[in-house]
Amino acid sequence: MREFDLEHVYESQQFDSELLDRVFDVADEMKTDLFAKQRRYSQVLKGKIMASLFYEPSTRTRFSFESAMARLGGSTLTTENAKEFSSASKGETLYDSTRVMCEYADLIVMRHNEPGSAKLAAEASSIPIINAGDGSGQHPTQALLDLYTIKDCLSTIDGLSIAMVGDLKYGRTVRSLSYLLTKYSNITIYFVSPSVCKMDDDLKNYLTENNVQWKDESVLEEVLPLVDCVYMTRIQRERFHDLKDYEKAAGKYIIDEEQVKLMKEESIIMHPLPRVDEISQAVDNDPRAQYFQQARNGLFIRMALLFLLLQKP
């Protein structure tokens, strides 16, 4: 099998189908190892240090990366709210912060508010950079765990129809997942969003060029019976420049027990989380609800990425 030859992970377009298979195979190994308490990987990153540099809030991404590093025997340097408590608050550039952190750590996991910031940091860095979300840009490790979850639940990715619902304009998870879906055949994506936060044309053009069918829709109830996966997203109040637009979009699409009745029995409901009101808690025990398993899979995928990036010969 091909070696994992990425130095950094900053966008989904870096992955081809072979690399995706490699990540998923290692994630499977990590999952089996943890469930069977075999501890074959529990010391493989002993002596390695991960810097966890988050300029925006996070629960899942930050803690799953920190948990992944601990479960592989490595350690983590971190700061609460790097925007306020790192020297960024004194005007230090991302370039300078990255150059300096390279002297203290073996890998940087970075979440930043500016699209493209992870790629810029990678250009300045002598150690691997992992993009943990760059504003409304990309969230490639989320997309990897999303795809891993879809494959785990539905056994295949080829031939699937997926509804992406909610904030598609500022949503980095749907962008990153869409790029990865171009590596599979016969995919159809339904973009269901309020008019103020539609998916941008650049992504739609990319999908068309890469043989992925897509459709813009506005009525969720018409799409639910057609798809294998419903990928809900939060309307991100913090990304809207005009709060009147946010108010037009908020609360428009909600999956509750009535909506779930419209879905295929064998379909799944996903969400990168956090949710606000877009999936009712009453749906959580439906067998189609996979968002907590999705978050759990983040641990295995991030263990796999840390292992692959830091265990180079």
Would you give the binding string for ligand CP spanning residues 40-59, x where CB under 6 A is met?
------------------xx
Catalytic residue among 8, 22, 62, 111: 111
CB of residue 67 to ligand CP, shortest distance in Å: 12
Q: Which of 8, 22, 60, 302 is catalytic?
A: 60
What is the nearest approach in angstroms of ligand CP to the Cβ of residue 146?
Answer: 9
Annotated active-site residue 175? The verdict is no
Closer residue to ligand CP in complex, CB, 59/93: 59
175 binds ligand CP (CB under 6 A): no
Assess 142 for contact with ligand CP (CB under 6 A). Answer: yes
Q: Which stretch binds ligand CP (CB under 6 A): 45-53, 239-247, 252-260, 269-277?
A: 269-277
Q: Which is nearer to ligand CP, 62 or 204 (CB)?
A: 62
**Closer residue to ligand CP (CB): 169 or 271:** 271
Q: Check 61, 141, 149, 173 and give the catalytic one.
A: 61
**What does the DSSP assignment read for the chain?**
------S-B--GGG--HHHHHHHHHHHHHHHHHHHTT--TTTTTTTT-EEEEEESS--SHHHHHHHHHHHHTT-EEEE-S-HHHHSGGGGT--HHHHHHHHTTT-SEEEEEESSTTHHHHHHHH-SS-EEEEEETTS--HHHHHHHHHHHHHHHS--TT-EEEEES--SS-HHHHHHHHHHTTSSS-EEEEE--GGGPPPHHHHHHHHHTT-EEEEE--HHHHGGG-SEEEE----GGG-SSHHHHHHHTTS--B-HHHHTTS-TT-EEE--S--SSSB-GGGTTSTTB-HHHHHHHHHHHHHHHHHHHH---
Q: How far is the CB of 58 from ligand CP (least distance, A)?
A: 3
Catalytic status, residue 111 = yes
Q: Which is nearer to ligand CP, 140 or 272 (CB)?
A: 272
Catalytic residue among 2, 37, 90, 244: 90
Which residues of the chain form contacts with ligand CP (CB under 6 A)? 58-61, 133, 139, 142, 272-274
Task: Catalogue the active-site residues.
Answer: 60-61, 90, 111, 139
